[in-house]
Copies of this chain bind each other. A is one copy, B any other.
């Protein structure tokens, strides 16, 4: 059983650290973006170095005090806020935000975990490179949190998740020891893959303090098109056409539904809509091309081929950087429109590509039988990752659906599980989906996870209650 981070513990900890390194919690340390989870903490520690952080972890281990690691606080499943149980110590990485090194000729950057994602991108750009992890929250999320949750985003199709962009980690383990693994290597088969174990463990097996990350050279030219497709099946066929034509140069392939465009029109009327009448299904295709390829020509040729094959009825190819940004803004503003409308339940799901069209049809019909709702289904189609969000019928509000929230999520997740999908494609488990993981997770996997948690964190101090029930 854990002990609370009570005033006596906090005072003892503060004495060991420089002035200002232990502070009372501020609201930003205890909230998450949707306002659905509220945290508590005896104090917030602000280590300035890996050694300081290791000392804090050792103090917590000695006193059996729980630790909630905090990056930018943008997680959507409550992994960063602990609302119940003995008062934890929040350990914020915000002061550990240094660039440790950049090696453009190696396509590598080494950064501390508290660095804001956008700052990593900016540092890469300054060296003529690109760090291709693009998220809606990139201006405030921190790279340590991106790695702890294996964040995804809009360029996963080409560049992979956060996991795929990480070459090495430094981390403080639950006993206060420091894992020194900041290698700048593309290949390293020396023992178990602790890097990937810590990535996606959401702070329950240790705290990531720094990372060496892959960079890429920016493409010679980039191009974006919006293409109206008759159905999700046609959208997937169009993805096939694009990949046959451009191979790994297809960077993004996003699906949007009429409902998302209507929500945008309703809540953000100043945002310019690309089509006079909102199409039922729309995809955004993004290419990063090599020297000598013209984006508008290439996308025009793709559109012509798609149209001839009955896969596209209308489309727009960006003719400038500003237009390209506007197309992306459309896609990236949908979550904000969703927030303004107010969902009953949101689902971050992944499906085998071949199961997507069937799922959309079946889930829509089943939800319609359950309740009068609106569905905004959109997301990273190229990765099989849909944000399948369910909203009140027009003119009604969320509160009227309180009793339906759980049945709706159950229905959606049951269909996802039956199709061999994932109930958390990119957001993680956090505290919100612990019970879902127990319900849908493979029993052997859960048993192995518990054994690993017990082996590396026998006191259970690392982010208690996240991912696994304490």
Q: How far is the CB of A193 from chain B (nearest CB, A)?
A: 5
Which residues of the partner chain B approach A444 to less than 8 Å between Cβ atoms?
A: 173, 177-180
Contact of A194 among B177, B236, B449 (CB under 8 A): B449
- Tell whether, in the assembled complex, residue A236 and residue B105 are in contact, meaning their CB atoms are under 8 Å apart: yes
- Tell whether, in the assembled complex, residue A446 and residue B191 are in contact, meaning their CB atoms are under 8 Å apart: yes
Bound CA–CA A429/B205 (angstroms): 25
Q: Is A365 part of the contact surface with B, judged by Cβ < 8 Å?
A: no
Q: How far is the CB of A401 from chain B (nearest CB, A)?
A: 26
Which chain B residue shows the least CB distance to A249?
B290
With A179-B445, A455-B451 in contact, is A245–B291 under 8 Å at CB? Answer: yes
Which chain B residue shows the least CB distance to A157?
B186
Chain multiplicity (copies): 2
* Segment from A14-22, A260-268, A312-320, A419-427 that makes contact with B: A419-427
Q: How far is the CB of A159 from chain B (nearest CB, A)?
A: 9
Q: Is A343 part of the contact surface with B, judged by Cβ < 8 Å?
A: no
- Tell whether, in the assembled complex, residue B106 and residue A354 are in contact, meaning their CB atoms are under 8 Å apart: yes
- Tell whether, in the assembled complex, residue B290 and residue A247 are in contact, meaning their CB atoms are under 8 Å apart: yes
Q: Is A368 part of the contact surface with B, judged by Cβ < 8 Å?
A: no
User: What 1/0 flags go to A281-322 for Cβ under 8 Å of B?
Assistant: 000000010110000000000000000000000000000000
- Tell whether, in the assembled complex, residue A217 and residue B247 are in contact, meaning their CB atoms are under 8 Å apart: yes
- Tell whether, in the assembled complex, residue A246 and residue B290 are in contact, meaning their CB atoms are under 8 Å apart: yes
- Tell whether, in the assembled complex, residue A427 and residue B189 are in contact, meaning their CB atoms are under 8 Å apart: yes
- Tell whether, in the assembled complex, residue A185 and residue B247 are in contact, meaning their CB atoms are under 8 Å apart: no
Q: Is A80 part of the contact surface with B, judged by Cβ < 8 Å?
A: no
Q: Is A371 part of the contact surface with B, judged by Cβ < 8 Å?
A: no
- Tell whether, in the assembled complex, residue A452 and residue B456 are in contact, meaning their CB atoms are under 8 Å apart: yes
Q: Is A183 part of the contact surface with B, judged by Cβ < 8 Å?
A: yes
Which residues of the partner chain B approach A164 to less than 8 Å between Cβ atoms?
A: 160, 164
Q: How far is the CB of A138 from chain B (nearest CB, A)?
A: 18
Bound CA–CA A219/B248 (angstroms): 9
* Segment from A196-204, A223-231, A391-399, A402-410 that makes contact with B: A196-204
Which chain B residue shows the least CB distance to A172?
B444
Those of A207-241 within 8 Å (CB) of chain B = 216-217, 219-220, 236, 240
Q: Is A385 part of the contact surface with B, judged by Cβ < 8 Å?
A: yes
Bound CA–CA A276/B423 (angstroms): 61
Q: Is A350 part of the contact surface with B, judged by Cβ < 8 Å?
A: yes
With A105-B354, A197-B196, A243-B217 in contact, is A425–B188 under 8 Å at CB? Answer: yes
Q: Is A274 part of the contact surface with B, judged by Cβ < 8 Å?
A: no
Q: Is A461 part of the contact surface with B, judged by Cβ < 8 Å?
A: no
Which residues of the partner chain B approach A249 to less than 8 Å between Cβ atoms?
A: 247-249, 290
Which residues of the partner chain B approach A66 to less than 8 Å between Cβ atoms?
A: none
Q: How far is the CB of A310 from chain B (nearest CB, A)?
A: 17
- Tell whether, in the assembled complex, residue B152 and residue A187 are in contact, meaning their CB atoms are under 8 Å apart: yes
Which residues of the partner chain B approach A420 to less than 8 Å between Cβ atoms?
A: 183-185
Q: Is A448 part of the contact surface with B, judged by Cβ < 8 Å?
A: yes
Contact of A187 among B194, B201, B236, B384 (CB under 8 A): B384
- Tell whether, in the assembled complex, residue A189 and residue B429 are in contact, meaning their CB atoms are under 8 Å apart: yes
Which residues of the partner chain B approach A428 to less than 8 Å between Cβ atoms?
A: 189
Bound CA–CA A112/B290 (angstroms): 38
- Tell whether, in the assembled complex, residue A189 and residue B454 are in contact, meaning their CB atoms are under 8 Å apart: no
Which residues of the partner chain B approach A243 to less than 8 Å between Cβ atoms?
A: 107, 217
Bound CA–CA A420/B383 (angstroms): 34
Bound CA–CA A394/B150 (angstroms): 52
With A173-B444, A187-B383, A189-B150 in contact, is A290–B350 under 8 Å at CB? Answer: no
- Pick 6 A–B contacts, CB within 8 A, sort by A: A105-B353, A188-B425, A192-B448, A197-B197, A247-B249, A452-B455
